[in-house]
């Protein structure tokens, strides 16, 4: 072997040794102490490429400030490089490592080839205590629940709920959690809940049902707000809670991106109260009807009368007016399930047009409360259609109904 060949081989071997040394070298993780909470790491020294998990524990009444958790490179990675072989530009002090949020209290990052410093700050948040939980096991008390919230609009006292901590001893029985429309502090100040933040009940597998309040407008549900675990959607152990909504907002919530996981698992539902044997209905998403309800549409007969035509199956297509008939007049409460429709992927708000799925249907959907002029429209009342006679736009047919349109 020539002298040049020997030199090349030695340099190659040296490169391998240095590469191995860099892989084995452990970098340090320094946690900067902060007030009103703690941040800990599962490893304080680790080789480059190691996944480091950070646990965030705010003090009672505090929350990690949005965007304040940072991982900064503080070392000089060029110390591990041999300048003769392949000099590389070393990371500069002040360069930040990407941090991934797993939940409200868990974050991760990949250890770089340099020491790092972890910092975060906590700010004071609002705390409320309320009895919003019901247990499937009535002999097991649940106690008051701690609700953590952030002020989003101080002037109007609007808040976002970012944490719901079940009381100690709540156990593993099936729990129903009712989201409050308002929260009241110790001084009697009332705050309106307008948003639910991510991971409010992450890891609390005893929760099976969440009941949303009847409000004038839907509460904004953030992505992963009601996520319980990190398992993929098709994993049989994936825990998906059933979300119960007001009937008039069933389509709003079903199409809200934050509830897509629940929607896809057929777990966005609403309770309908049947006022009579017959009642009209419409919704901005496909609906699965329970046993005991038969759907019809209405069309004009050759004799000029209105006749009922039964719709086969238990699914009512979105944006259609239908007539529902109760098989048992003794039953008044029926649970309706929002059904995903492949043709509506990407929709975030219900459509308000008449889809006209059923031929010559005279029933028009009322997806949003709407004013109708008298003369051509009829509304069902007491199992009979009555002409609409109203004055002023403030008189509206409620959402989720249907009107009979006969010209």
Q: How is 368-394 classified by DSSP, letter by letter?
A: S-B---TTSEEEEETTEEEE----STT
Alpha-carbon span 94 to 197, nearest angstrom: 31
What is the Cα–Cα distance from 208 to 260, expressed in whole angstroms?
17
Rounded CA separation 96/116 (Å):
9
What's the token pair of residue 384? Answer: 């009979």
Average pLDDT over residues 237-262: 94
Mean pLDDT on 378-385: 89
CB atoms within 10 A of CB 117: 16
- Identify the domain boundary among 123, 153, 186: 123
Task: Annotate 249-283 with DSSP letters as a single string.
Answer: GHHHHHT-GGGHHHHHTT-EEEEEE--SSEEEE--
Q: What is the pLDDT of residues 315-356, one digit of tens each?
A: 999 999 999 999 877 778 999 999 998 665 445 567 778 899
For residue 76, the model assigns a pLDDT of: 62
* Cβ proximity of 361 and 299 under 8 Å: yes
Task: State the average pLDDT over residues 2-16.
Answer: 50
148 pLDDT more than 60: yes
> Which SS3 state, helix, strand or coil, does residue 211 take?
strand
244 inside domain: no
In a domain, 41, yes or no: yes
Quick check: is 7 in a domain?
yes
Asked whether residue 351 falls in the same domain as residue 304, the answer is yes
Residue 21: what pLDDT?
Answer: 46
Q: Is 288 helix (H, G, I), strand (E, B) or coil?
A: strand
Taking only the tens place, the pLDDT of each residue in 30-62 is: 999 999 999 999 999 999 999 999 999 999 889
Element (H, E) at 11: helix 3-24
Q: Does 103 share its domain with 24?
A: yes
CA distance 179 to 184: 13
The two structure tokens encoding residue 48:
């480059």
Q: Does the structure show a pLDDT above 60 at 285?
A: yes
Do 4 and 10 touch, CB atoms closer than 8 A?
no
Whether residues 105 and 131 fall in one domain: no
Residue 226 has a pLDDT of 95
Judgement on whether residues 278 and 218 belong to the same structural domain of the protein = no
How many residues does the structure list for the chain?
Answer: 407
Banded model confidence at residue 194, pLDDT cuts 50, 70, 90: very high
Whether 114 and 149 share a structural domain: no
Residue 233 pLDDT > 90, yes or no? no
Q: Round to whole Å and give the CA distance between 146 and 322.
A: 43
More confident residue, 381 or 140: 381
Is 218's pLDDT higher than 70? yes
Q: What is the pLDDT of residue 24?
A: 56
Given this model, what pLDDT does residue 80 score? 46
Distance, in Å, from the CA atom of 96 to the CA atom of 205, rounded to the nearest integer, reads 35
Tell me: do 229 and 290 sit in the same domain: no
Range of the domain at 355: 274-407
Same domain for 185 and 65, yes or no, is: no
What pLDDT score does 81 carry?
45
Query: Is position 40 within any domain?
Result: yes
Split at pLDDT 50, 70, 90, the class of 140 is low
295 in any annotated domain: yes
> Residue 159: pLDDT above 70?
yes
Could you tell me if 157 and 144 lie in one domain? yes
- In this prediction, residue 84 carries a pLDDT of 43
- Give how far the C-alpha of residue 262 lies from the chain's centroid of Cα atoms, to the nearest Å: 8
Q: Do 16 and 135 share a structural domain?
A: no
Q: What was the pLDDT predicted at 141?
A: 53
**How many independent structural domains does the chain possess?**
3
pLDDT band (50, 70, 90) for residue 389: confident
Among the listed residues 309, 337, 330, the one whose alpha carbon sits nearest the alpha carbon of residue 321: 309
In a domain, 340, yes or no: yes
Q: Which residue has the higher pLDDT, 123 or 24?
A: 123
In a domain, 234, yes or no: yes
Adjacency order of strands within the sheet including 363-366: 363-366, 401-405, 377-381, 384-387
Please tell me whether residues 383 and 286 are part of one structural domain. Answer: yes
- The CA-atom distances, in angstroms, between 12 and each of 2, 16, 343 are 15, 6, 59
Which of 185, 217, 239 delimits the end of a domain? 239
Q: What are the pLDDT digits (tens) for 66-119?
A: 889 999 998 765 444 444 444 444 555 668 999 998 888 899 999 999 999 999
List the single range of 234-238, 345-349, 358-362 with lowest mean pLDDT: 345-349
| Of 23, 57, 27, 24, the residue nearest 40 (C-alpha) | 57
Asked whether 295 and 316 are in contact (CB, 8 A), the reply is yes
Question: Residues 283, 382: one domain?
Answer: yes
- 199 and 95 in a common domain: no
Residue corresponding to tokens 């009922």: 308
* 59 three-state secondary structure: coil
Q: For residue range 286-304, list pLDDT tens digits in order.
A: 999 999 999 999 998 777 6
Is residue 73 situated within a structural domain?
Answer: yes
C-alpha distances out from residue 371 to 379, 398, 399, Å: 12, 9, 11
| pLDDT greater at residue 8 or residue 387 | 387
d(CA 372, CA 355): 19
> What is residue 43's predicted lDDT score, i.e. its pLDDT?
94
| pLDDT greater than 90 at residue 165 | no
Q: Average pLDDT for residues 272-276, to the nearest whole number?
A: 88
Query: Of 216, 239, 262, which residue is a domain's last?
Result: 239
């Amino acid at each position: 072997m020539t002298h040049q060949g020997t030199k090349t081989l030695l340099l190659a071997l040296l490169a391998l040794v240095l590469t191995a040394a860099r892989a084995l070298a452990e970098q340090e993780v320094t946690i900067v102490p902060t007030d009103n909470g703690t941040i800990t790491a599962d490893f304080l020294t680790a080789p480059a490429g190691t996944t480091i998990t950070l646990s965030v524990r705010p003090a009672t009444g505090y929350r990690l400030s949005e965007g304040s958790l940072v991982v900064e490179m503080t070392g000089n990675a060029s110390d591990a490089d041999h300048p003769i072989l392949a000099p590389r530009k070393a990371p500069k002090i002040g360069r930040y490592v990407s941090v991934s949020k797993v939940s409200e209290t868990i974050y991760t990052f990949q250890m770089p080839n340099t020491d790092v410093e972890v910092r975060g700050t906590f700010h004071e948040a609002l705390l409320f205590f309320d009895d919003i939980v019901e247990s499937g096991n009535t002999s097991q008390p649940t106690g008051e629940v701690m609700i953590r919230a952030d002020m989003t609009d101080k002037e109007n006292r609007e808040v976002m709920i970012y944490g719901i901590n079940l009381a100690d001893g709540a156990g593993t029985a099936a729990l129903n959690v009712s989201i409050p429309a308002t929260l009241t502090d110790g001084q009697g100040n009332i705050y309106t809940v307008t948003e639910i933040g991510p991971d409010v009940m992450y890891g609390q597998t005893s929760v099976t049902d969440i009941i949303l309040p009847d409000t004038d407008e839907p509460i904004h549900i953030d992505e992963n707000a009601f996520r319980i675990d990190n398992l993929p959607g098709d994993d049989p152990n994936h825990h998906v809670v059933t979300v119960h909504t007001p009937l008039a907002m069933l389509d709003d919530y079903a199409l809200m991106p934050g509830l897509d996981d629940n929607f896809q698992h057929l777990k966005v539902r609403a309770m309908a109260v049947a006022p009579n044997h017959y009642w009209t209905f419409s919704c901005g998403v496909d609906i699965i009807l329970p046993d005991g309800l038969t759907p019809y549409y209405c069309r004009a007969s050759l004799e000029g009368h209105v006749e009922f035509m039964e719709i086969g199956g238990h699914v009512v297509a979105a944006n259609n007016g239908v007539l529902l008939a109760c098989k048992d007049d003794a039953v008044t409460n029926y649970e309706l399930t929002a059904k995903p429709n492949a043709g509506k992927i990407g929709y975030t708000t219900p459509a308000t047009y008449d889809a006209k799925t059923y031929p010559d249907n005279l029933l028009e959907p009322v997806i949003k409360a709407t004013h109708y002029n008298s003369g051509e429209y009829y509304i069902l009342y007491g199992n009979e259609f009555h002409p609409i006679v109203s004055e002023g736009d403030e008189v509206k047919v409620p959402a989720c109904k249907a009107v009979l349109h006969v010209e």
